[in-house]
Amino acid sequence: MISTASTVDETNVHAGKGEHARHHFDVKHVLHEMKHYLPSQTPIKDFIHHNSLHAFQQMKFFDAIFKASKIFGFQATLPLHEFRQLYQVGRIKNVVLERVIAERKGTQLLAEWKENLVIKEYDDITKPRIGLLRNNWKSEHRIDLDALVHPLLYRVICSYLDQGIATWQFPVTNLGFLEAIRSLEKNSYTSFFKTKRAKSLLLEGNCTIPGLLKIVVGNEDYYEQYLYDQQFSHKGWSGMVSVVEDFPATLYDQRKVSLNDFIIFELLLEIDALDKALGKWRPLAEAKKSRPVDLFADVQTTELHEVLTLWQHAFEWSYYDEVLAGLASGKQTSQPVTAKTSFQAMFCIDERECSFRRYVEQCAPDAETFGTPGFFGVEFYFQPENGKFYDKLCPAPVTPKYLIKESGVKGEKKHELLYTSKTHTLLPGFLLSFLFGALSAGRLFLNVFRPKMSPAISNAFGHMDRQSTLTIENKDIADRENDLQIGFTIAEMAARVEGVLRSISLIKDFAAVVYVIAHGSSSANNPHHGAHDCGACSGRPGSVNARVFAHMANHSGVRVLLKEKGIDIPADTQFVGALHDTAGDEIEFYDEHVLNAQNRRDHELHLVVFEKALDLNAKERSRRFASIDTKGNLKQVRKAIKDRSVSLFEPRPELGHGTNALCIVGGRQMTKNIFLDRRAFMNSYNYKTDPEGTILSRIMAPLGPVCGGINLEYYFSRVDNHKLGAGTKLPHNLMGLLGVANGADGDLLPGLPLQMIEVHDPVRLLLIVEHFPDVVLKTVQAVPAMYEWYINEWVHLLAIDPQTRKFHYFKEGVFIEYEPLLKAVGTVNNMVELVESAKIMQTNQTVDATLENLPVQVLN
């Protein structure tokens, strides 16, 4: 397994810089700092989940979110009135609320605080600090700089960075942004500007940030704050510029852009707009009356903050308590030792596989399932046949040294006639409007009434051709390309296979067939499709990884090395890779031809199991989709689910990671008969084989950035879908293949759209580890970057003592015992009934939406 401890990059080292030097303005330093606060989402083709407030991560969760809220005007939690409604409908439980208050405020003050929470009126209007300084242009001069500058600024930067929407490219893209602007300005009879000064400043003047700020702002004390105000008035574009500057390779058609250049151009446009509108004007600092408060000054904790904090805790623990009660009352089923395991299957830890695993086990009670991050420990770049670029197939922070190439692809890449850019020309466009007019009407009719897969739809199974050959094994160390080794050597393969098998403790009792099931997601008309694919594979389907892992594990040389290390895989045990499409609920297996005759026969039987499990899984998922009649017969429901994933009109092909709330590291027997409603990431782990916690350390390293990152992105996109999420998808417009914006003049919108988060309850992740508390404590404390997630409360941590089965909650550096308030949870006797009777939300307002989430129950 690859260590991902290095994942928590140095971006997290900043926040709370309350008292920085006022007098000297150091551009480099200011920009360096600013980059941490800007959104760090890469172009949308590589959608990678991360903590939206990563810059504040070295502060405690609540301090951080309230500070961010005060500075930038984000909503940090659900609004007060929604918490109160949740309490009224019973979603926040009274007993939990009282316990939360009593623990934090003491029993004497319980009544008083409860009244504060439930009744007292607060002024809960957010009044952010950002923008106050620059706002003086409006209040003092009645100049709306945003309206004058933004439209052109966005259009210029978007045209410069554009990856292929425009058919007439920006004339100069081989130079850096500002140089390109300068070159275009020089070599043209028209100008970017309306007035002379800005033009001459660009061409010959002191065109630096301090130089221009001197003109615009005047007083050095205000420079930094002005820049923050300016850049955060369009944080989407600034963030994109900053990300592309740091990772130019994230664009296929690369550009040399920098935040510095971008700011200079914006300042020039501001000078131009001010010159045009005002003629003669004085710098902002001279005209303004009072000095606004420093952006990063400490934020006073108010009573309202405390109230919201208590509500958030009560909301979270209302759910966690139920989960723990469920875990406590779930029967400890141990695998029947006598029965032979029919097959074993490894799945991604992804919470969407939670229900699929449950149904596989239900349909084949003698099968065993495991969860492990979906790149299956093999990190590499993948080059599809004829691909001009590489796709990274491992967690985003890992930089692989290996390349796997595809060859022998059967079938051609299909094109979609109607997507030609020729319709954006005059005369060919004229002819095409007759030809394509009729065609598109017919196509639209079919799309609406008979949706089916097409080349324009993102197809999870299209990532790799199942008939192709992969260069998995490296036979010659010198076989390299672009500084990457092509394929893995046998020793490297063995190390990776061993890593994964040990982490899930599959080191003996192998079944004859072991499936390695990755996941991906098909969806139509969905720029955010990357957010539905496998997070452990950098937002790509994991099919190649599954196939590669199976190949490695089947390799006779690898088997020999594994045997030396004590993992004796029987000769007739074979691994089979597969890909599960989480949107369409379909599965595809790879290299089945390697199976021996007996395994092949068994595999045919297992296929029936998987199909049945997928039917049931589709049915369970369908309960949240209003357009599907869950009570319909299984095949109809399955078809409807499949159609969803290829329907152009469907903004919710699936619900992604919505509702994720748990991460369970431990044996499957702990969760096997508990209904967790697809809310838990599940990583298989056996404490018995790891008394020292060395394996645990490797398992836990990526859980913070990957699962915590996903959870927090959902959290923030949920509580402030406008400023930290992308708002509703419906009006989205593609900008330069980089991201989406609302309408024509909007700023880029990082974060998750409304359709992905509406089912999500904004609770932090509860990471449950089955091991002795002292081992867990030692493990997390060993790596500071990992410890930060827990000590700062961005993720809750809880250990289950394997012997006493007691819960130990990690709080302020120590584990303390937790006794669930709820003594027993309900029982499900019939899953079908549960699914069919589940209510669907009336509206997507928090209170209505949360009622769709079913309580934790014991499966009978």
The interface with another protein within residues 590-619 (CB under 8 A) comprises none
Q: Is 124 in the site for another protein (CB under 8 A)?
A: yes
How far apart CA 136 and CA 273 sit, in angstroms, is 15
Give me the 647-686 binding string for another protein, x by CB under 8 A, dash otherwise: xxxxxx----------------------------------
If the CB atoms of residues 199 and 603 are measured against another protein, the closer one turns out to be 199
Calculate ∠ Cα 188-190-192, nearest 5°: 100
Query: Would you state the torsion angle of the CA atoms of residues 750, 753, 754, 759, taken in this order, to the nearest 10 degrees?
Result: -110
How far apart CA 209 and CA 29 sit, in angstroms, is 13
Strand intervals (E) in 761-806: 766-770, 796-800
Provide, rounded to whole angstroms, the least separation between the CB of residue 379 and another protein.
Answer: 20
Going by their DSSP bridges, the two strands 513-520 and 343-347 should be labelled as parallel
Q: Are 542 and 481 in contact (CB under 8 A)?
A: no
Q: Is 425 in the site for another protein (CB under 8 A)?
A: yes
If the CB atoms of residues 125 and 339 are measured against another protein, the closer one turns out to be 125
Give me the 150-189 binding string for another protein, x by CB under 8 A, dash otherwise: xxx--xx-xx-xxxxxxxxxxxxxxx-------xx-xxxx
What Cα–Cα distance (Å) separates residue 302 from each residue in 102, 126, 299, 306, 530?
19, 12, 9, 7, 40
DSSP string, 418-429: GG-GGGGSSHHH
Output helix, strand, coil percentages for the chain, rounded to the nearest 5.
Answer: 45, 10, 40
Q: Which two tokens stand for residue 598?
A: 């007996």
Q: Is 771 in the site for another protein (CB under 8 A)?
A: no
With CB under 8 A as the rule, give the number of residues binding another protein: 126
Q: Where do we find the tokens 């709370």? A: 16
Provide, rounded to whole angstroms, the least separation between the CB of residue 436 and another protein.
Answer: 5
Provide, rounded to whole angstroms, the least separation between the CB of residue 667 and another protein.
Answer: 39
Provide, rounded to whole angstroms, the least separation between the CB of residue 287 and another protein.
Answer: 18
Tell me which residues in 694-733 interact with another protein (CB under 8 A): 719-723, 727-733
If the CB atoms of residues 209 and 759 are measured against another protein, the closer one turns out to be 759
If the CB atoms of residues 704 and 753 are measured against another protein, the closer one turns out to be 753
Interface pick for another protein out of 737, 782, 783, 838 (rule CB under 8 A): 737
DSSP string, 32-83: HHHHHHS--PPPGGG-----TTGGGTTS-HHHHHHHHHHHH----SS-HHHH
Tell me which residues in 544-583 interact with another protein (CB under 8 A): none
Q: Which helix (H) or strand (E) holds 359?
A: helix 353-363
If the CB atoms of residues 651 and 658 are measured against another protein, the closer one turns out to be 651
Tell me which residues in 514-543 interact with another protein (CB under 8 A): 524-527, 529
Interface pick for another protein out of 29, 81, 282, 508 (rule CB under 8 A): 81
Q: Is 433 in the site for another protein (CB under 8 A)?
A: yes
Q: Is 190 in the site for another protein (CB under 8 A)?
A: yes
Going by their DSSP bridges, the two strands 380-383 and 402-407 should be labelled as parallel
**Short-list 304, 298, 293, CA closest to 123:** 304
Q: Which two tokens stand for residue 371?
A: 């969860």
Provide, rounded to whole angstroms, the least separation between the CB of residue 218 and another protein.
Answer: 25
Q: Is 753 in the site for another protein (CB under 8 A)?
A: no
If the CB atoms of residues 93 and 718 are measured against another protein, the closer one turns out to be 718
How far apart CA 744 and CA 4 sit, in angstroms, is 40
Provide, rounded to whole angstroms, the least separation between the CB of residue 500 and another protein.
Answer: 29
If the CB atoms of residues 191 and 573 are measured against another protein, the closer one turns out to be 191
Interface pick for another protein out of 191, 219, 505, 669 (rule CB under 8 A): 191
Interface pick for another protein out of 32, 104, 331, 413 (rule CB under 8 A): 413
Q: Is 803 in the site for another protein (CB under 8 A)?
A: no
Tell me which residues in 382-401 interact with another protein (CB under 8 A): 384, 386-389
Q: Is 308 in the site for another protein (CB under 8 A)?
A: no
Q: Which two tokens stand for residue 516?
A: 């390695």
If the CB atoms of residues 117 and 158 are measured against another protein, the closer one turns out to be 158
Q: Are 590 and 344 in contact (CB under 8 A)?
A: no
Provide, rounded to whole angstroms, the least separation between the CB of residue 79 and another protein.
Answer: 5
Show Cβ contacts of residue 145 under 8 Å, excluding neighbours closer than 6 positions: 134, 137, 138, 270, 273, 274
Candidate segments 120-128, 556-564, 674-682, 683-691, binder of another protein by CB under 8 A: 120-128
Q: Return the exposure string of 249-258: e unless at least 16 CB atoms fall within 10 Å of the residue's CB, then b.
A: eebeeebbbb
Cα 541 to its chain centre, rounded Å, is: 14
Provide, rounded to whole angstroms, the least separation between the CB of residue 805 and another protein.
Answer: 41
Q: Are 201 and 281 in contact (CB under 8 A)?
A: no
If the CB atoms of residues 219 and 302 are measured against another protein, the closer one turns out to be 302
Provide, rounded to whole angstroms, the least separation between the CB of residue 328 and another protein.
Answer: 36
Candidate segments 26-34, 312-320, 464-472, 842-850, binder of another protein by CB under 8 A: 842-850
Tell me which residues in 455-494 interact with another protein (CB under 8 A): 455-458
Interface pick for another protein out of 233, 344, 599, 792 (rule CB under 8 A): 233
Q: Are 355 and 378 in contact (CB under 8 A)?
A: no
Cα 66 to its chain centre, rounded Å, is: 22
Tell me which residues in 244-303 interact with another protein (CB under 8 A): 252-253
Q: Are 350 and 711 in contact (CB under 8 A)?
A: no
**Short-list 719, 584, 588, CA closest to 653:** 584
Candidate segments 232-240, 654-662, 679-687, 809-817, binder of another protein by CB under 8 A: 232-240
